[in-house]
């Protein structure tokens, strides 16, 4: 019996299920994916709808179409989903890669020593201390992310360097019982400096995506500030946009928090 999909828009639902099949490791990178006919039979939908679902996954960079051969799971590119917070390890494993983390720096910083954009974003008291964490994230041994983070110590007491080599998100939620409510992000294209390129094993001036973010716990309390660099040849950023139903939802661009 087909795994029926009964609500509109049908191809969105088909896309979601097919996307899950890619991310849960059911298909290895480079492996041939379902055909239109197989998708139609599996979900009880038309081949035209199956084609539309496949085309959407190709445009997201999860699949690639090879003329005369078929559709294959794309290899070698990590996916950054702008709609939710997902750990680096989950993203890497979904792409069929082995994740690793190198902790490059870990130490306490007094509020008086922080740059103004960080102090303002975290809304710190004058007597607070933050923990500075610098990490390099690798996929299959290749550096892909360079991360600089300031974490409020009062919410994560007794944090050790050895703790942050694994998923920070899991650490915050499991050990400290914090509800991570989300993050505000500003994304822009940048060129890597000489020092950044050296760490990421790239060339000075190579393209990267910079994300400056403030993470929040319940009640809108800021928990961390981070500046993260994603290698431009290793990452694709993805989002799904809906229609604007209220003109008041359109906001003017805001200035970014920049390094000083």
pLDDT tens sequence across 165-200: 988 988 999 999 999 998 999 999 999 999 999 999
Average pLDDT over residues 119-124: 95
Report residue 95 as tokens: 């792409």
The whole-number pLDDT of residue 1 equals 42
pTM for this model (two decimals): 0.64
Sheet holding 99-110, edge to edge: 99-110, 129-139, 142-152, 221-231, 207-217, 180-191
Distance of CA 249 to the CA centre of its chain: 24
Asked if residue 9 has a cis previous peptide bond (ω within 30° of 0), the answer is yes
Cα distance between residue 128 and residue 125, in whole Å: 5
Q: What are the chain's domains?
A: 10-73 (1.10.10.10), 78-239 (3.40.1410.10)
Beta bridge partners of 138: 100, 143
% of the chain at pLDDT higher than 90: 49
Which residue is it, tokens 């993203």? 91
CB 191 within 8 A of CB 184: no
pLDDT tens sequence across 193-225: 999 999 999 899 999 999 999 999 988 999 999
CB 168 within 8 A of CB 176: no
Which residue is it, tokens 């110590």? 153
Beta bridge partners of 188: 210
Cα distance between residue 79 and residue 186, in whole Å: 17
| Widest CA span in the chain | 66
Report residue 85 as tokens: 């917070």
Which residue is it, tokens 């993260």? 228
Q: Write phi, then psi, for 130 (nearest 5 degrees).
A: -120, 160
Contacts of 160 (CB under 8 A, 6+ apart): none
pLDDT tens sequence across 125-134: 988 999 999 9
Cα distance between residue 26 and residue 46, in whole Å: 23
- Does residue 35 carry a pLDDT above 90? yes
pLDDT tens sequence across 65-115: 887 888 988 766 665 655 555 677 776 676 667 889 999 999 999 999 999
Helices (H), the chain: 10-23, 36-43, 47-59, 88-94, 116-122, 168-174, 194-199
């Amino acid at each position: 019996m087909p795994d029926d999909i009964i609500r509109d828009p049908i191809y969105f639902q088909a896309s979601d299920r097919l996307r899950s099949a890619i991310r849960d490791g059911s298909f290895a990178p480079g492996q041939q994916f379902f055909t239109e006919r197989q998708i139609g039979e599996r979900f009880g939908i038309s081949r035209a709808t199956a084609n539309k679902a496949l085309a959407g996954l190709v445009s997201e960079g999860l699949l690639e179409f090879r003329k005369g051969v078929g559709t294959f799971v794309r290899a070698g590119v990590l996916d950054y989903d702008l709609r939710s917070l997902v750990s680096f390890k989950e993203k890497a494993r979904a792409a069929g890669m082995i994740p690793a983390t190198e902790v490059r720096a870990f130490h306490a910083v007094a509020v008086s020593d922080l740059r103004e954009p960080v102090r303002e974003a975290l809304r710190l008291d004058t007597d607070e201390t933050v923990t500075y964490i610098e990490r390099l994230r690798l996929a299959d041994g290749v550096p892909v992310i360079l991360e600089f983070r300031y974490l409020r110590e009062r919410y994560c007491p007794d944090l050790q360097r050895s703790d942050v080599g694994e998923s920070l998100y899991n650490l915050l939620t499991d050990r400290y019982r914090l509800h991570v409510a989300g993050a505000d992000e500003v994304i822009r294209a940048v060129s890597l400096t000489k020092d950044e390129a050296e760490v990421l094993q790239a060339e000075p001036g190579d393209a990267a995506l910079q994300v400056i973010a403030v993470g929040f716990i319940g009640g809108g309390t800021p928990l961390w500030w981070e500046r993260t660099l994603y290698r431009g040849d290793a990452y694709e950023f993805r989002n799904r946009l809906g229609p604007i139903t209220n003109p008041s939802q359109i906001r003017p661009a805001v200035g970014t928090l920049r390094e000083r």
